[in-house]
């Protein structure tokens, strides 16, 4: 066989090896080349990418949850904000991304922005493992996998290992603060717009509270999301209220409701001002989860 043909056959045989294969949401995916045009759908997915040093390759971020200033300025840590919520398929395609990373399953609807449609036109995608269908409760394990996988795809393996080590160190430090101390009961208030929206046993906040030495007051309900009425909450009377601070449901508005509602104002945590505000993106699995557990442990278990 002529040498040029042998060379061509060798090159063709090596093509699949040039693609980066990776596992995500229980499936195998691949990128044809290291990503240079990355779009982050959801603020916490952008935060994880930025922590991995992907900033220079990021061309857009959409759906900010708790950074109003960035929303108004149109820049999130130097990355253009391309949409207040999820961009249309036309807007997304016009950016010519080579990798789209979503933080919630809703980032990839079953239309022209689905992962399958994007893949068909050569656009890679990644959904944070905690948002994959059928995921388990090992949320911190999901974060480790996200960092490891995206770190490899971005050729930032060392940085990924450092970030994982820092998260584990924060979790260990949090554990030292609550050893031998009673775990306070906490009610998480995600939103007050359509009732008191919270999480049950299968939500991330319960795992986060455990890592901070506390317990979700509604962990006995085997659901990820629930709506609680004020009388039920008063009957359970948690020790502390954890308030998500989001653009669509600011903590200040929650506080106003708690202090003015005739039933909610009778809660011990409200009367004694045991209310903790945390930005929404720190209450979903992501790069800040270890730090958030440590901060909560410090606030829930102050030094004696």
Is 151 found in the same domain as 20? Answer: yes
Q: Give 14-26 pLDDT, tens digit per residue.
A: 434 446 899 999 9
CATH code for the domain in which residue 23 is found:
3.40.50.1980
Q: What is the mean pLDDT of residues 177-197?
A: 96
Question: Taking the alpha carbons of 92, 95, 98, 104 in that order, is the dihedral positive or negative?
Answer: negative
Read off the pLDDT of residues 118-175 as tens digits, 9 standing for 90 and up: 999 999 999 999 999 999 999 999 999 999 999 999 999 999 999 999 999 999 999 9
Residue 78 per-residue DSSP state: T
Mean pLDDT, residues 14-39 taken together: 83
Residue 253 buriedness (CB in 10 A; 0-12 / 13-18 / 19+): middle
Inside any domain, residue 75? yes
**303 pLDDT band (50/70/90 cuts)?**
confident
Is 46's pLDDT higher than 80?
yes
Q: What share of the chain in percent tops pLDDT 90?
A: 89
**51 and 126 share a domain?**
yes
Q: Quote the pLDDT of residue 18.
A: 46
Helix (H, G, I), strand (E, B) or coil at 211: helix
Tokens read off for 60: 């857009």
Residue 294 lies in a domain: yes
User: Quick check: 242 and 190 in contact, CB under 8 A?
Assistant: no
Predicted TM-score (pTM) of the model is 0.91
Could you tell me if residue 114 is inside a domain?
yes
Query: How much of the chain, in percent, has pLDDT values that exceed 70?
Result: 93
For the chain, the average pLDDT equals 93
Pairing of strands 240-245, 275-279: parallel
C-alpha distances in Å from residue 199, one per residue of 44, 72, 121, 226, 266? 19, 30, 38, 6, 22
Segment 39-46 shows an average pLDDT of 98
Instruction: Report the distance separating Cα 224 and Cα 204, nearest Å.
Output: 8
- Number of domains forming the structure of the chain: 2
Q: Which domain holds residue 269?
A: 182-300
Is 10 part of a structural domain of the chain? no
The neighbour count for residue 77, using CB atoms within 10 Å, is 12
Whether residue 225 sits in one domain with residue 138: no
Q: Would you state the pLDDT for residue 1?
A: 47
Q: Is 246 left (phi over 0), alpha (psi -120 to 50) or beta?
A: beta
Give the three-class secondary structure for 219: coil
Task: Confirm if 243 and 254 have CB atoms less than 8 A apart.
Answer: yes
- What 8-state DSSP symbol labels residue 217? T
Clarify whether residues 144 and 236 are in a common domain: no
Asked if residue 147 and residue 57 are part of one domain, the reply reads yes
Structure confidence at residue 5 (pLDDT): 38
For residues 139 and 85, state if they share a domain. yes
Tokens of 61: 């971020």
Same domain flag for 148 and 186: no
* pLDDT tens digits along 50-94: 999 999 999 999 999 999 999 999 999 999 999 999 999 999 999
């Amino acid at each position: 066989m002529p040498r040029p043909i042998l060379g061509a056959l060798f090159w063709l045989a090596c093509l699949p090896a040039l693609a980066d294969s990776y596992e995500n949401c229980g499936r195998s995916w691949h990128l044809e080349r290291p990503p240079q045009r990355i779009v982050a759908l959801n603020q916490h997915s952008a935060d994880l990418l930025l922590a991995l040093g992907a900033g220079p390759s990021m061309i857009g971020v959409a759906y900010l949850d708790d950074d109003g200033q960035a929303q108004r300025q149109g820049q999130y840590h130097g990355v253009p904000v391309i949409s207040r919520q999820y961009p249309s398929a036309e807007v997304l395609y016009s950016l010519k991304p080579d990798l789209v990373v979503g933080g919630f399953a809703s980032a990839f609807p079953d239309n022209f922005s689905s992962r399958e449609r994007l893949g068909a036109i050569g656009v890679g995608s990644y959904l944070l493992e905690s948002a994959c269908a059928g995921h388990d409760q090992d949320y911190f394990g999901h974060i480790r996998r996200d960092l490891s996988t995206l770190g490899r795809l971005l050729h930032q393996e060392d940085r990924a290992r450092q970030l994982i080590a820092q998260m584990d160190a924060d979790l260990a430090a949090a554990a030292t603060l609550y050893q031998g101390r009673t775990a306070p009961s906490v009610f998480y208030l995600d939103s007050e717009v359509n009732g008191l929206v919270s999480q049950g046993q299968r939500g991330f906040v319960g795992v986060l509270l455990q890592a901070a030495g506390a317990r979700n007051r509604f962990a006995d309900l085997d659901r990820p999301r629930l709506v609680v009425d004020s009388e039920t909450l008063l009957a359970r009377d948690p020790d502390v209220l954890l308030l998500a601070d989001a653009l669509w449901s600011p903590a200040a508005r929650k506080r106003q409701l708690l202090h003015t509602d005739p039933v909610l104002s009778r809660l011990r945590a409200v009367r004694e001002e045991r209310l903790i505000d945390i930005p929404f993106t720190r209450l979903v699995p992501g790069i800040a989860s270890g730090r958030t557990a440590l901060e909560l442990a410090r606030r829930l278990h102050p030094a004696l």
